[in-house]
Amino acid sequence: MSARSQAKTIVLVVDDDGDIRMSLEMMLNYEGYEVWTARDGEEALARLDKEAAAGRGAEVALCDVKMPRLDGPGLLDALAQRAQRPSVIMISGHGDVPTAVDALRRGAVDFLEKPLEHNRVSTSLKSALRERALAAENRVLKRALSEPWKLLGESAPMRQLRDQVARVAASDSAVLISGENGAGKEVVARQIHLSSARAAGPFVPVNCAAIPSELIESELFGHEKGSFTGAFERRVGHFEAAHEGTLFLDEIGDMPLAAQSKLLRALETHEVTRVGGQRPIPVDIRVVAATNADLRAAVEAKSFRMDLFYRLNVVPLRVPALRERPEDVPALARRFLAELAARSGRSALEIDDDAMALLKSLPYPGNVRQLRNLLEGASVLADGPTLTRAALEGILDSGAALSAPPAALALSPAEDPYSAPTFEQFKDRSEALFIRRKLAENEGNIKRTAETLGMQRSHLYKKLDRYGLR
């Protein structure tokens, strides 16, 4: 087991009673916590300052109310002035309602009476740690929605994309974002929204591929009560929900043809009519769509409406694949490690040079999303405060290998459908190639690939065996 996996949560016990300090230390050590002790508030602050200089800090403090020099309420006030501080659980042998209320008002997360019960202390600690972890995660999520750092990277493609986003945000035109799975199309859409005059309005993401064809009209436009079996109440659709904001239509290429005509009408008229409704409802929205498919080819194949394509493709944007900008990997990697650290309440891992070189060399068929997942897994295996090449290779060797991206799948003459001598062989090769590309897009995940292809996993396994893809 690595040193990092053995790291313990630190609890600070502050009480002038030596027997209580010893009892709590034994109890908490038994439960797996590392325990620091102090006789009063001043000694506690001195210990926190000393450990902070070494890059360590307590996550929770159990603090007595009445102590010499600096008492519990005084310690709470002192901690309130610090950016990095433990959550405080107040303990007292003289517990009463006014004391408890005052402690909670000053920032304590809980209040325990002496004599202390083991189960009550354990429950309070776990609750405080859960709240602390949740608060850290919420801070990360808030930054993700409000800060432009999500479009990280100083490569030429990313500088160009940021410039395009800034220009697009100043208008209200429809935008069509193209790019591979995991490249960050929704991130770009959110950034357009947050940088636009509609930033105060809602951002409503819709995965068109995830909505059954029979429900897509109801999902987009809403329905009235009793309009169909199961419509037990009125429902507002995504168009209405996005009023005065931005509607993000992800995987637009997977929308059924029948729904495309209704979508086009809503975009042209700026009105929607709920299923079962009679009255058109005006909507003020900006539409941003995204696709990983070639919509021009879909138009030629008559699986996507030409008029809808041109209605959505007013301003085209392309999100570059991660393999096209390896110089951006270091900034992204450090950002993701910082996010992981914030969620766990720990210090962010550093990355040594060999590990970074490996990260920059990988092809990333899953793009930015795959980089994030790789780092999350490697963090668990990290030995100490630095992420090494060995930790990354451990994840890759365990089954998370990064195969070549779909666009880079090289075909031999025996695999190329168009070199097939017969029509039957053409069909077999085309099917094998299609399955192979979907496997790469889904990072080798059989369940997701089967769902994408609309077939049972057992059927997919038979296809894999038939074409030698296992």
Same domain, 20 and 79: yes
What residues make up the domain containing 104?
Answer: 10-144
Domain boundary among 94, 115, 144: 144
Residue 85, burial from CB neighbour count under 10 angstroms (0-12, 13-18, 19+): middle
Phi-psi label, residue 323: left if phi above 0, alpha if psi -120 to 50, beta otherwise: alpha
> Under a CB-based contact definition with an 8 Å cutoff, are residues 63 and 75 in contact?
yes
Task: Name the amino acid, one letter, at 143.
Answer: R
Number of domains in the chain: 4
The Cα 340–Cα 160 span in angstroms is 28
Q: What is the pLDDT of residue 82?
A: 85
**The domain spanning residue 455 has which CATH number?**
1.10.10
With respect to residue 110, please indicate whether it lies within any of the assigned structural domains. yes
Note whether residue 402 is domain-resident.
no
CATH number at residue 107: 3.40.50.2300
Q: Which two tokens stand for residue 170?
A: 């100043």
- Helix (H, G, I), strand (E, B), or coil: what is residue 3? coil
- Reported as type and span, the H/E element at residue 14 is strand 10-14
Domain membership flag for residue 114: yes
Tell me if 437 is assigned to some domain: yes
Position 304 in a domain: yes
With beta carbons less than 8 A apart as the criterion, state whether 184 and 319 touch: yes
One domain for residues 368 and 284:
no
Asked if residue 259 lies in contact with residue 251, where contact means CB atoms within 8 angstroms, the answer is no
Question: Is 372 part of any domain?
Answer: yes
Q: Which H or E run includes 192?
A: helix 185-194
Would you say 374 and 395 are in contact if contact means Cβ atoms under 8 Å apart?
A: yes
Residues 157 and 298 in one domain: yes
Q: Examine the domain organization and report whether 432 and 297 are in the same domain.
A: no
The reply to whether 96 and 202 lie within a common domain is: no
Kindly state whether residue 5 falls inside one of the protein's structural domains: no
Q: Has residue 427 been placed in a domain? A: yes
Q: Decide if 221 contacts 269 (C-beta within 8 A).
A: no
Same domain, 87 and 47: yes
Whether residue 116 sits in one domain with residue 265: no
Q: Are residues 172 and 307 in the same domain?
A: yes
CB 252 within 8 A of CB 208: yes
Residues 195 and 60 in one domain: no
Which residues are CB-contacts of 296 (< 8 A; sequence separation ≥ 6)? Answer: 309
Q: Which residues contact 118 (CB under 8 A, 6 or more apart)?
A: 27
Sign of CA dihedral 429, 434, 436, 437: positive
Find the CATH number of the domain harbouring 343. 1.10.8.60
Structure token pair of residue 390: 């060995």
C-alpha distances in angstroms, 100 versus 11, 107, 113, 218? 21, 11, 10, 51
Distance of CA 311 to the CA centre of its chain: 31
Find the radius of gyration of the CA atoms of the chain. Answer: 28
Confirm if 387 and 337 have CB atoms less than 8 A apart: yes
For the chain, the residue count is: 470
Q: Are both 356 and 264 inside the same structural domain?
A: no
Q: Give, for all 470 residues of the chain, the pLDDT tens digit.
A: 333 334 689 999 999 999 999 999 999 999 999 999 999 999 999 999 999 888 889 999 999 988 999 988 899 989 988 878 899 999 987 665 677 678 788 889 998 888 888 999 999 999 999 888 877 756 654 554 445 446 778 889 999 999 999 999 999 999 999 998 888 899 999 999 999 999 999 999 999 888 888 888 888 998 887 666 666 677 888 999 999 999 999 999 989 888 999 999 999 999 998 888 888 899 999 999 999 888 999 999 999 999 999 999 999 999 999 989 999 998 888 888 887 777 666 777 888 888 898 898 888 888 888 888 888 888 877 777 888 888 887 777 654 444 434 433 445 556 666 666 777 777 787 888 888 878 777 766 777 888 888 888 778 878 877 777 65
Interatomic CA distance for residues 173 and 190, integer angstroms: 15
Same domain? For 366 and 306 the reply is no
Mark whether 197 and 89 lie in a shared domain. Answer: no
Q: Round to the nearest angstrom and report the end-to-end CA distance of the chain.
A: 33
Q: Which two tokens stand for residue 284?
A: 């003020």
User: Which pLDDT value is given to residue 4?
Assistant: 37
Examine the fold and report which residue of 144, 171, 187 is the final residue of a domain before the chain moves on. Answer: 144
> Domain end: 264, 298, 320, which one?
320
Q: Supply the DSSP symbol for 376.
A: H
Look up the CATH number of the domain holding residue 297. Answer: 3.40.50.300
